[in-house]
Amino acid sequence: MSTLFLRTLREDPADAELPGHKLLVRAGYIRRVAPGIYTWLPLGMQVLAKVENIVREEMVRIGSQEVKFPALLPREPYDATNRWTEYGDNLFRLKDRKDADMLLGPTHEEMFCLTVKDMYSSYKDLPLALFQIQNKYRDEARPRAGILRGREFIMKDSYSFDVDSAGLQKAYDAHREAYIRIFDRLGFEYVIVKADSGAMGGSASEEFLAVSPHGEDTFVRDDSGYAANVEAVEVPQAPEMAVTAGPAHVEPTPDTPTIDTLVAALNKDHPRADGRDWTAADTLKNVIVMLVHPDGTREPLAVGLPGDREVDTKRLEAKVAPAEVEAFEEKDFAAYPMLAKGYIGPGALGESTSSHIRYLLDPSVAIGSAWVTGADEHGHHVIDLVHGRDFTADGTIQAAEIREGDASPTGHGTLKLARGIEMGHIFQLGTKYAEALGLKVLDEHGKLVTVTMGSYGVGVTRAVGAIAEDNLDDAGLIWPRNVAPADVHVVATGKDEEVFVKAEEIVRELESAGVEVLFDDRRKVSPGVKFKDSELIGVPTILVVGKGLADGVVELKDRRSGERRDIPLAEVVAEVTAEIAQPARTL
């Protein structure tokens, strides 16, 4: 450590938000260059290399072969798949000196597809699996959480190529098992959830989420083992009901533009015949949003849902991708005078109405159910408006918020909500990209068939951040041994030259036994600072060489448990190697 390029910090960096992010900076693993862009320092490189190697080993284990594409790419392949447009502002675009459009690769489906097309033409060449570990670039609107959501990051992306869906399923299953082994080895709690394929397309996808209160993704699970990202939760269609409500009738409801004011007015001026109070769940809320398509086209969309629920923007965006969702503003209302803001009802909505605004209902709105909703006239609502009798919609959409305690789609109890960090995502892409780029091979009958693909990603730099968030305490980081920058942190304390001589001798013996050592040999640093740094840096085993030498012992400390014990000098190598051989942390 006397020559290591390292400077630890005692104070949290001002720009860091999460505990693990703060400690990665304070312990000298990374340094910020710009929002979402980080320099990796020597200790960080050690951890990063170990994460990469774990990923690489498991990919090779299932027969995937490593390649590496450039990060700087031409526009044309991304035009062919329409992703030059679909990526919108997330894409880093530039021009070369000849004015040709280029981009910094956000992901490499196109490159893999074209390379296989260039080299293979027969079913005999397949199945094939290729992977790379490469820098990716996405111009995140809100980079945050350090290396968890950066604009430059390292990802392992791999792709399988097969002649049919049966081959794709086999490749998908192999990658899924490889991912389980990867995340088991990385040392943080994770869950596999059903995911929405979104703009990537394909028939099926799953996410591997690191369980963390700081995660940006919300997922659900029930007691049966079902787990899904909230975007992928499929609320069942409510069964059709017998109509019991009388004719719909419009009533004056002045100054009730919100659900709360409406419910209060209903209970005051229009009490229910059955004697119970009106609630927000009796109202039908109609929310208008503006969809912005990648080519800049703007399209309004109306979502109808029970008034006690909100539209979940992430769920909605997953269903309308690659379009982005923006608020429906005053200028938009001006362009649609038939919409009475605060009093919008189904009568003004739908592709067949004068507004031509597509109208989609939450599946909980059953045919035959009666609602209080806007009458399309300021200060008025309609009561007992029945779905299927008095109004219809253009379809359904899964966009309402999911709540703790909602009934599970599996029928097994209720849903529990938790948060996680997306660490891996696997897709059954099918033929989307192969069709766009003309990737075909001759089958066994001599007929051209489109290759079917799978896509599989792991966030490598993100994994380092997720491990840090799940392995820390008030004093610093606590690396799982598989990815720690060293096996043991040897700390020489005191001013006696004999301490340093003996410590160096122990270090040589450990290294000869194949142990990776971080040696704090600094002579002008106090023992207190050295101890603080050893806890901050987080190597799983700490060996203190100091005053115990007089008794022929050194102190061995377990960084995670805090347990300390003295061991005789003659047994140091045996004890340390035995410590290193202990089973990995059980989650």
User: What is the percentage of the chain residues whose pLDDT exceeds 70?
Assistant: 98
Q: Given this model, what pLDDT does residue 195 score? A: 86
CB 530 within 8 A of CB 520: yes
* Lowest mean pLDDT segment, chosen from 57-66, 236-245, 393-402, 577-586: 577-586
Q: How confident is the model at residue 17 (pLDDT cuts 50, 70, 90)?
A: confident
Q: Could you tell me if 67 and 115 are in contact, meaning their C-beta atoms sit under 8 angstroms apart? A: yes
| Whether the predicted pLDDT of 582 surpasses 80 | no
**Does residue 322 have a cis bond before it (omega within 30 degrees)?**
yes
The CA dihedral of 249, 254, 257, 259, to the nearest 10 degrees, is: -60
What CATH class is the domain 486-581?
alpha beta
What average pLDDT does range 175-200 have in this prediction? 87
> Residue with structure tokens 């209720």?
414
CA–CA separation, 512 vs 506, rounded Å? 10
Banded model confidence at residue 411, pLDDT cuts 50, 70, 90: confident
Phi, psi of 251 (to 5 degrees): -130, 150
pLDDT digits 0-9 by tens, 530-559: 999 999 999 999 999 999 999 999 999 999
* 91, two tokens: 């894409």
Residue 343: pLDDT above 50? Answer: yes
CATH 3.90.960.10 fits 249-396, yes or no: yes
Average pLDDT, the chain: 94
Lowest mean pLDDT among 56-65, 186-195, 472-481, 508-517: 186-195
Q: What is the pLDDT of residues 369-409, one digit of tens each?
A: 999 999 999 999 999 999 999 999 999 999 999 999 999 98
Task: Return all residues near 463 (Cβ < 8 A) that are at least 6 apart.
Answer: 51, 186, 423
pLDDT of residue 360: 97
DSSP 354-405: SS-BEEEE-TTS-TT-EEEEE-SSTTEEEEEEEBTTTB--SEE---BPP-TT
Q: Residue 587: what pLDDT?
A: 42
Query: How do 65-66 and 72-74 pair as beta strands?
Result: unpaired
**How many other C-beta atoms can be found within 10 angstroms of the C-beta atom of residue 273?**
6
Residue 584: what pLDDT?
Answer: 56
* Amino acid identity, position 346: P
Overall average pLDDT of the 448-476 stretch: 96
Q: How far is CA 369 from CA 239, 258, 273, 342, 344, in A?
A: 10, 21, 16, 22, 18
3-state DSSP of 108-143:
CHHHHHHHHHHHCCEHHHCCEEEEEEEEEECCCCCC
Q: What is the token pair recorded at 69? A: 């594409």
Where do the structural domains in the chain lie, given as residue ranges?
A: 44-233+417-461, 249-396, 486-581
Average pLDDT over residues 488-510: 94
Please check whether residue 132 is in contact with residue 69, taking contact to mean a CB–CB distance below 8 angstroms: yes
Mean pLDDT within 403-423: 92
Exposure b/e, 38-63, CB count within 10 A at least 16 = b: bebbebbebbbebbbebbbebbeebe
pLDDT at 198 over 80: no
Work out the pLDDT band at 335, boundaries 50, 70, 90: very high
The vertex-271 CA angle with 270 and 277, nearest 5°, equals: 130
Task: Determine the Cα–Cα distance for residues 221 and 211; give it in Å rounded to an integer.
Answer: 12
Residues in the chain: 587
> What's the CA gap between 44 and 48, in Å, rounded?
6
- Give the three-class secondary structure for 55: helix
pLDDT of residue 586: 43
Burial 122-131 (b: 16+ CB within 10 A, else e): ebeebbbbbb
Which residues, 6+ apart, have CB-to-CB distance to 335 below 8 Å? none
Q: From 384, 387, 373, select the one nearest 343 (Cα to Cα).
A: 373
The mean pLDDT of 492-497, rounded to a whole number, is: 90
For the cut 70, the answer to whether the pLDDT of residue 423 exceeds it is yes
Q: Which CATH architecture has domain 44-233+417-461?
A: 2-Layer Sandwich (3.30)
Token pair recorded at residue 283: 């109202």
CA distance 481 to 468: 13
Give me the sign of the Cα torsion angle 347, 353, 357, 358: positive
pLDDT given at position 175 = 97
DSSP string, 485-535: S-SEEEEE-SS-HHHHHHHHHHHHHHHHTT--EEEE--SSS-HHHHHHHHH
CB 1 within 8 A of CB 522: yes
Per-residue confidence band for 202, with pLDDT thresholds at 50, 70 and 90: low
d(CA 370, CA 403): 23
pLDDT confidence of residue 154: 97
- What pLDDT is stored for residue 145 in this prediction? 87
